[in-house]
Amino acid sequence: MTIITLAQLSADLDAGKVSSTELTQEYLQRIDASEHNAFISVDQELALTRAKDADAKRANGESSPLLGVPIAQKDIFCIDGTQTTCGSKILENFIAPYTATVVSNMHDHGVVSLGKTNMDEFAMGSSNETSHYGNVVNPWSSKGATLVPGGSSGGSAAAVSAQLAPAATGTDTGGSIRQPAAFCNLTGIKPSYGRCSRYGMIAFASSLDQAGPMTHTAEDAAMLLNTMVGFDSKDSTSLDVPAEDYTTQLNDSIEGLNIGLPKEFFGEGLKPEIATLIERAVKEYESLGANIKEVSLPNSHLALPSYYVIAPAEASSNLSRFDGVRYGYRTEEYTDLVDMYTKTRSEGFGDEVKRRIMIGAYALSSGYYDAYYSKAQKLRRLIANDFNDVFKECDVLMGPTTPSTAFSAGSNSDDPVAMYLNDIYTIPANLAGLPAASIQAGFTSAGLPIGLHIIAPYLQESKLLNVAHQYQKVTDWHTLSAPGASAHNVGEKA
């Protein structure tokens, strides 16, 4: 079964080969028939109303590349009138009263939202196992071994990989777009911090959170990103920079491109088979005319410990709003206000979220603030400075996205540090606010996909996508579809 790209669907809609309503119906049927648990909620009626609307617009001569193309939305994005859980029991009954800017931007471009995808609770996790709504099955699982799709955007990754949607949104605070993209053989982009508005995207760690596309190809990622970005006065950290068309530089030659390989990304902990596959991908770039050079990010070993102070600190503050008073779950029986708060939060949050709130509150407490939070902020600056230094001599950096491939459900659940190590290569880009991608770069002998990680200088998403696209033009890893992908063809009746 071949993959279906946004570019192809856009061309088919343009040529009148298929309507948005037909496409939307097809994907809704696939979602209905699938057993990956990739979605938390699907509003069929709403999706079909939008599809009809897109068809009417096309009939009226309106055109926009993604007008009428259905995609899946991570359940971290508020959509007016729609259940928005963020993977948590505490928001099980929450119907959003407004729409996230990223989603309303996509809707303005005519994108049809199919439904809300499963995710780790409040985006905290690397396997989707912290979701209140159950585990998600990685479509690359083989008989007998159920593998995780990665996290926290695990439902989005599984949905695209299983072809239940041609693309999806994700969010990335420490790796949550790129790690599941690597585990499910997808292209995932974390844009520069500030590029996509955070308004209406439920906050985890506000100085790190960033929305981005999860697709089969870099070209699709460029197309979807075009509809997501833009300045938003409702997010004080949104960047007021002019809109760009990310598809225009995709075909630029990368001859003479200077690629840096940070030696810290190839050290202890990396599975040798992944190292070999990454070396092969780098060789491919060399044959395209790129220059390869080893570089060093000497403070990158401090990224994981800094992140696990800063992210929980911000989360402990952000999550204080879930108190049972204004929205979401409220405990049934309580004696007074404090008892209500305590029981609501004890019953409403899962263990990983509670762990982060406790770590964060501790790191911010008056006696420990300097020792933990201030120190982590200083390390963050050193990590960002390392990138500034290497980008004086390199156009992009490359390495593996993750130290291992998708693992079986339950295998890391008792060891939070083992779980946290999944993001050892992805977190530095979040701390420095840089754009980064994971692209498909081959398979291990066990048949599991691996991701090539590419990091670009600030605001150079076009360069990042260009570098990714050039590789996809000469390789076909991204075209290989998961064994668990939906068996139907678009347009074929179920």
Using CB under 6 A, which of 25, 104, 117, 152 touches ligand GLN?
152
How many residues belong to the chain? 494
Range in contact with ligand GLN (rule: CB under 6 A) among 123-131, 211-219, 244-252, 279-287: 123-131
Minimum Å distance from CB 123 to ligand GLN? 4
Answer yes or no whether residue 174 interacts with ligand GLN by CB under 6 A.
yes
| Residue 187, both tokens | 């292209």
Nearer to ligand GLN, 288 or 364 (CB): 364
Q: What is the DSSP string of 253-321?
A: --TT-EEEEEGGGGSTTS-HHHHHHHHHHHHHHHHTT-EEEEE--TTGGGHHHHHHHHHHHHHHHHGGG
Q: Site residues for ligand GLN, window 306-325 (CB under 6 A)?
A: 311
Q: How many CB atoms sit inside 10 A of residue 332's CB?
A: 8
Q: Residues with catalytic annotation?
A: 74, 152, 176
Range in contact with ligand GLN (rule: CB under 6 A) among 29-37, 140-148, 166-174, 371-379: 166-174
Question: What is the Cβ-side half-sphere exposure of residue 469, based on CA atoms within 13 angstroms?
Answer: 21
Range in contact with ligand GLN (rule: CB under 6 A) among 117-125, 256-264, 397-405, 479-487: 117-125
Range in contact with ligand GLN (rule: CB under 6 A) among 77-85, 171-179, 298-306, 400-408: 171-179
Q: Taking CB positions, which residue lies at the least distance from ligand GLN?
A: 176
Using CB under 6 A, which of 123, 165, 229, 295 touches ligand GLN?
123
135-147: buried (b, 16+ CB within 10 Å) or exposed (e) per residue?
bbbbbbbeeeeeb
Range in contact with ligand GLN (rule: CB under 6 A) among 108-116, 173-181, 250-258, 285-293: 173-181
Q: Map tokens 């600030």 to a residue.
A: 458
Nearer to ligand GLN, 152 or 470 (CB): 152
| Residue 51, both tokens | 């599809």
Given a contact cutoff of 8 angstroms between Cβ atoms, the answer to whether 211 and 196 are in contact is yes
Q: Map tokens 């001859």 to a residue.
A: 255
Minimum Å distance from CB 203 to ligand GLN? 11
Calculate the alpha carbon distances from 43 to 25, 49, 104 in Å.
Answer: 12, 10, 17
Nearer to ligand GLN, 355 or 473 (CB): 355
Minimum Å distance from CB 126 to ligand GLN? 4
Minimum Å distance from CB 437 to ligand GLN? 15
Q: Site residues for ligand GLN, window 273-312 (CB under 6 A)?
A: 311
Minimum Å distance from CB 387 to ligand GLN? 18
d(CA 175, CA 445): 25
Minimum Å distance from CB 177 to ligand GLN? 7
Nearer to ligand GLN, 131 or 176 (CB): 176
Calculate the alpha carbon distances from 201 to 72, 197, 324, 337, 409 in Å.
Answer: 15, 8, 20, 28, 27
Q: Site residues for ligand GLN, window 44-103 (CB under 6 A)?
A: none
Minimum Å distance from CB 492 to ligand GLN? 36
Given a contact cutoff of 8 angstroms between Cβ atoms, the answer to whether 295 and 258 are in contact is no
Nearer to ligand GLN, 173 or 185 (CB): 173
Rg, C-alpha atoms of the chain: 21
Using CB under 6 A, which of 24, 25, 88, 126 touches ligand GLN?
126
Range in contact with ligand GLN (rule: CB under 6 A) among 38-46, 122-130, 441-449, 452-460: 122-130
| Helix, strand or coil, per DSSP, at residue 416 | helix
Nearer to ligand GLN, 110 or 200 (CB): 200
Minimum Å distance from CB 417 to ligand GLN? 12
Using CB under 6 A, which of 9, 96, 124, 274 touches ligand GLN?
124
Using CB under 6 A, which of 55, 172, 232, 323 touches ligand GLN?
172
Angle subtended at Cα 187 by Cα 172 and Cα 100, rounded to the nearest 5 degrees: 40
β-pair partners for 139 = none
d(CA 73, CA 439): 20
Using CB under 6 A, which of 155, 175, 200, 428 touches ligand GLN?
175
Residues in contact with ligand GLN, total (CB under 6 A)? 13
Answer yes or no whether residue 22 interacts with ligand GLN by CB under 6 A.
no
β-pair partners for 71 = 113
Task: Categorise residue 457: left if φ over 0, alpha if ψ from -120 to 50, beta otherwise.
Answer: beta
Answer yes or no whether residue 423 interacts with ligand GLN by CB under 6 A.
yes
d(CA 229, CA 187): 18
Calculate the alpha carbon distances from 71 to 6, 58, 74, 329, 449 in Å.
Answer: 9, 18, 10, 29, 23
Q: Site residues for ligand GLN, window 190-249 (CB under 6 A)?
A: 204
Provide the binding-site residues for ligand GLN, judged by CB under 6 A.
123-126, 152, 172-176, 204, 311, 423
